[in-house]
Structure 1
Amino acid sequence: MIKFSKYYIRQELCKGCLVCLKICPQKAIIKNPDNKPEIIQEKCDGCGLCKEHCKLRVIIKKFGLRIKQSERSDPF
């Protein structure tokens, strides 16, 4: 198993100031059609600068476990 964490933006609470978009060193945050930020998980390296600079504290970090393909019992 692999431990992982991901950042998410609580869209319903975000006011769209886009500070997180400007501060992200990986350019992993884009502006969605609603003019709110959205994190591209594949680009995010988990540095946490977005969460640190969000004044409304609407960026959250979720933790989980991922099962490696080699550890799965089913072939799918």
Structure 2
Amino acid sequence: MPRPRYSVGGCVRRGPARHYIKPYDIAVTAALIVIKHYLPAVVVTSDGDDEKWADGRLVCMMACGYGEEFRLD
């Protein structure tokens, strides 16, 4: 049986992802931006476009002083 997976802009489910915006998406995108900042070898991809990451970048810029330059791999 396939394992559930998380997709930014999607939901946790088996099978094709549906594109719902979840309340935790901003926190998840911000966390991934922080991880990428400190571990540049980590590959970050998304089924959504770069625009869906704008709020996460804003949170990082306000809280950490970086994140504006983040782009998906």
TM-score, reference length from structure 2: 0.28
Larger fraction in strand: 1
Higher relative contact order (CA 8 A, sep 6+): 1
Greater C-alpha Rg: 1
